[in-house]
Amino acid sequence: MAEAPGSTCSDLSSFHDEPMEGTAPEKLELTVFLPHPGPWPHDPIDAEGLGGSGGPLDTLLKRFGARLQLIRRPAAEVSLLFIARTRRDLYDVHAFPAPPLNDLSALEALLKAPERGKRVEEPLHFVCTHGRRDVCCSRLGMPVFQALREVAGERVFQTSHLGGHRFAPLILTLPLGASFGRVTAAEAAALDEAARRGELYSVEKLRGIHPYTAEEQIALRRALLSGADFKDFSVVQEDELITVQSSGITRRYRIRRQPGELRMVSCGAAPSRITRFIVDELQHE
């Protein structure tokens, strides 16, 4: 079947049944969710009041290795800033009254000691609606955001670019550290119910878990599909060999990166070459 002229990046990705596994941001251990009403330009750091790339805020975030996510809700002010830690040994989210955008000393103090904030006990959902980055995120993300708001209320936020907009709608659920793609509005209630139990809603729609590498994300997802326990696992990577251990089972995979096909990975952009992963599952234990 020929590709339809004018198809969006998400349409084409779904058309080709492009795998989502291993597409969550890699090695992400610290994220700042900063309230900002918008408009949100292509790069979040270029939003009004943030100083742009290379500015003081950008420099501060890079010093701590923190990713910036802007958050908002339509017709409602968001007054809390969140700091999420997604480390192999620690997953938590803490909330703080948002300091003024120009008060970098206050933000630095929060980054030095996130545990001083109020620990968030219930799951939070961040839905990418960043239309200026890619139209698919706003077109497909808004219905999911609205559906999640109906069941999870103030635990749901619109957020800026989460990466991989061709897999929209995109959701990041914390403190699970789970990045999902191609979630529909009809799945909103089940996704939130699973998160409240500390479980993944759908391994099939899982892009990856922070803070793992792409190869580790793929190995973990496949191990989960084979019966591994999300609440009890470890992942170790040695070059191309990734070992997942969970609840008495061991799965080993050899995963290699190769240049893949030319695809439209963003609406309006020229096709670029995606990464292809070659996965060999080794003997089970």
pLDDT 10s digits, 36-91: 999 999 999 999 999 999 999 999 999 999 999 999 999 889 999 999 999 999 99
CA distance 282 to 42: 42
CA distance 263 to 11: 12
CA distance 124 to 281: 34
Q: What integer is the mean pLDDT of 229-247?
A: 95
Helix ranges (DSSP H) in the chain: 9-15, 56-64, 104-112, 135-152, 188-196, 214-225
Percent of the chain with pLDDT over 90: 93
pLDDT 10s digits, 91-101: 999 999 999 99
CA distance 257 to 280: 12
pLDDT band for position 1 (cuts 50, 70, 90):
very low
Q: What integer is the mean pLDDT of 8-19?
A: 94
pLDDT band for position 285 (cuts 50, 70, 90):
low
Q: Phi and psi of 40, rounded to 5°? A: -100, 115
Global pTM reads 0.96
Q: Phi and psi of 121, rounded to 5°? A: -90, -30
**Domain covering 9-211: architecture:** 3-Layer(aba) Sandwich (3.40)
Residue 54 DSSP class: T
Is the predicted pLDDT of residue 182 greater than 80, yes or no? yes
The position carrying tokens 């918008």 is: 38
Is the predicted pLDDT of residue 284 greater than 80, yes or no? no
Is the predicted pLDDT of residue 5 greater than 80, yes or no? no
pLDDT 10s digits, 108-125: 999 999 999 999 999 999
Beta carbons of 47 and 130 less than 8 angstroms apart: no
Is the predicted pLDDT of residue 3 greater than 50, yes or no? no
Is the predicted pLDDT of residue 6 greater than 60, yes or no? no
Burial profile 102-122: b = 16 or more Cβ within 10 angstroms, e = fewer = eebeebeebbeebeebeebee
The predicted pLDDT at position 7 comes to 85
Under DSSP, is residue 201 helix (H, G, I), strand (E, B) or coil?
A: coil
Average pLDDT, the chain: 95
In the chain, domain spans: 9-211, 213-285
